[in-house]
Amino acid sequence: MARAATPAIVLAGTRSGVGKTTIATGIIGALARRGLRVQPFKCGPDYIDPSYHLMACGVPSRNIDTWMLSHQTALELYGRASQSAEVAVVEGVMGLYDGHANLTEQGSTAEVAKLLRAPVILIANAARVARSIAAEVLGFRQFDPSVNIAGVILNGVGSPRHLEFCKPPIEDATGLPVLGYMPRREDLRVPERHLGLIPTVEGVVVEKWFDELTAQVESTINLDRLLEVAKQADTPQVSPSVFPAEPQPRKARIGVAQDKAFNFYYQDSLDMLEAWGAELAPFSPLVDAVLPAGVGGVYIGGGFPEIFAHELAANAPMKQSIKDAHAQGQVIYAECGGLMYLGEALTDFDGEAHEMVGLIPARSSMSKGRLTLGYREVEALSDGALLAKGETARGHEFHWSVADSPSSAEQAAYAVRTQDGRIEGFRAGNLTASYIHIHMGSRPGMARRFVERCANAQP
């Protein structure tokens, strides 16, 4: 017998910068303080916003991306994570209808909401506008009537009188209820730097900020009505495709770099590795002297190695431990910041070069004038940690740094199919390093392959 769908809301913005993450974090925290089991999600390829969700309710947030993942896989991951929750809160990406392409909804929050059959709460910025905001909300409702926009939250409200110039026109013109608002409060803005918000793991976001945010949400957003709206969700259930149908025995131990410098991982990718038989052993390239004992593989994700370059360079024992693991044939897989760390040197924003591990022939440097951003589909040029030669997967690239490119296809990890086959990343024995963050759910079998290769390389 199929279980009932988990109540859910999708918090979508009219555009980037309207306060989605702040409001989502506050709502998640406020619902958790009521004693509810909240499962947070983030649309799109984002690592930082989910860290705020985790801080708010103590539950890892999951990414739902309908460009990187098939609809079947997206539903599988959503259903698996939300099955024991009392309410799911999905934070959108950019504006409601923004996605991978300009003329389709693929990868957008709207596509995710329709896939999940979940109601949308539209977040609109009321700063420097009054009655005109009703026209904006009306346009969003009429743009795609198949999206279930069920309510509105206003951000940047200046006063009770300002709210009266915004709320009644919206409700009159659109028929949508305004379920609450957030006032203009600079003290509730989330700290940012060159890649966006600062991850909570760095300790910059203090408990006082979160407490005041939650109290503000409890005061000015109608949580009872939000929960009633959430009951409209009717998410379909699917069978497993990227997770095993039956529990798997432990096969391999994999060291995962997790500290202030490296913390960009899709939670579902880590869960898939464990489900297919991996024991994940966290370690810190910043402070640990050696890799965890007995690992057959090492996974170094993205993050901010440029912020901690001096400390990474100074930890010579860890760099040597990683070199020794590579020499012994253990599997090493690195993405973005991990690629920078495994290179020869990293030059920070001040122009100072720091010696890195030196396993791949690349030097990286920071450049505030050149942002590399976008979805990528890659084809493996040889057998690697995640893919066999000729197999494809989807991921995302987002970095301000630049690094030396591979000199030949024999040296490269991938051909980027979405960019005329340009060669990208590095392969050296059992090592694969790339700027592209791969979601292990984008191709069934990737997590299983990684675990099996690590099992074969166990010392």
CA distances from 84 to 9, 26, 166, 198, 299 (A): 16, 21, 38, 30, 29
| HEC sequence for 84-101 | CCCEEEEEEEEECCCCCC
Beta partners for residue 332, in sequence order: 298, 431
Which residues touch 7 (CB under 8 Å, ≥6 apart)? 86, 87, 88, 227, 230, 231, 233
pTM, 2 dp: 0.94
How open is the CA angle 307-308-314, to the nearest 5 degrees? Answer: 150
Q: Which residue has the tokens 């110039």?
A: 165
Q: What is the pLDDT of residue 209?
A: 84
**Catalytic annotation, residues:** 336
pLDDT in tens, the chain (459 residues): 467 899 999 999 999 999 999 999 999 999 999 999 999 999 999 888 999 999 999 999 999 999 999 999 999 999 999 999 999 999 999 999 999 988 899 999 999 999 999 999 999 999 999 999 999 999 999 999 999 999 999 999 999 999 999 999 999 999 999 999 999 988 777 665 444 555 555 555 667 888 999 999 999 999 999 999 999 999 999 999 999 999 999 999 999 999 999 999 999 999 999 999 999 999 999 999 999 999 999 999 999 999 999 999 999 999 999 999 999 999 999 999 999 999 999 999 889 999 999 999 999 998 776 777 899 999 999 999 999 999 999 999 987 888 888 989 999 999 999 999 999 999 999 999 999 999 999 999 999 999 999 999 988
Q: Which residue has the tokens 């407490």?
A: 211
198-237: pLDDT as tens digits: 555 555 566 788 899 999 999 999 999 999 999 999 999 9
* Structural tokens at position 217: 């949400």
CA distance 407 to 157: 54
Task: Give me the helices (H) in 231-359, please.
Answer: 267-275, 309-314, 316-327, 337-342
Q: What is the pLDDT of residue 371?
A: 75
Q: What is the pLDDT of residue 188?
A: 78
- The enclosing H or E element of 40 equals strand 38-43
* Structural tokens at position 371: 């942002």
Residue 161 amino acid letter: R
Q: How far apart are the first and last CA of the chain?
A: 46
User: Running DSSP on this structure, what letter comes out for residue 235?
Assistant: P
| Dihedral pair phi/psi, residue 452, rounded to 5° | -65, -40
The torsion defined by the Cα of 23, 24, 27 and 29, in degrees rounded to 10, comes to: -110
| Dihedral pair phi/psi, residue 40, rounded to 5° | -90, 150
